[in-house]
């Protein structure tokens, strides 16, 4: 098994969330408006889960190996992410190198997202 060091991701800004909402069509206000997010018991706006999944998938595409494709993808959302939170992404190959397990966590080690990618 090959491990990939956890590397910092670019912090996700409120502008990133607004842009993501525009292109994805996900205008749920808990991602865009602090007042509404707090009214739903959140500490403020939270990052779209699928935004994180997109960052992770982009990394998986970059490390999968030349001439190989990603087949099946599975995500497990573990905890909410706040804008500007410092995130790290890393992981490892599983089994015989045909599966790739990645994880996004914050600097405190709290897991935000786990993903498993089958390489074909």
Which residues are bridge partners to 87 per DSSP? 106
Confidence (pLDDT) at 66 = 66
Q: pLDDT higher for 65 or 119?
A: 119
Q: What is the pTM of this model?
A: 0.90
pLDDT tens readout for residues 28-77: 999 999 999 999 999 999 999 999 999 999 999 888 776 788 889 999 99
Asked if 113 and 14 count as a contact pair (C-beta separation under 8 A), the reply is no
Taken as a whole, the chain contains a residue count of: 120
- The answer to whether residue 103 scores a pLDDT higher than 50 is yes
Domains of the chain: 3-12+47-119 (3.10.129.10)
What pLDDT was estimated at residue 2? Answer: 62
């Amino acid at each position: 098994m090959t491990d990939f060091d956890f590397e910092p991701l670019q912090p996700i800004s409120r502008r990133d969330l607004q842009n993501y909402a525009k292109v994805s069509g996900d205008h749920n206000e808990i991602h865009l408006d602090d007042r509404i997010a707090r009214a739903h018991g959140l500490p403020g706006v939270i990052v779209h889960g699928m935004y994180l999944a997109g960052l992770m998938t982009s990394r998986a595409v970059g490390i999968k190996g030349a001439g190989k494709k990603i087949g099946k993808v599975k995500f497990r959302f573990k905890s909410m992410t706040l804008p500007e939170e410092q995130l790290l992404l890393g992981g490892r190959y599983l089994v015989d190198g045909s599966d790739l397990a990645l994880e996004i966590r914050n600097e405190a080690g709290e897991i935000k997202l786990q993903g498993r990618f089958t390489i074909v």
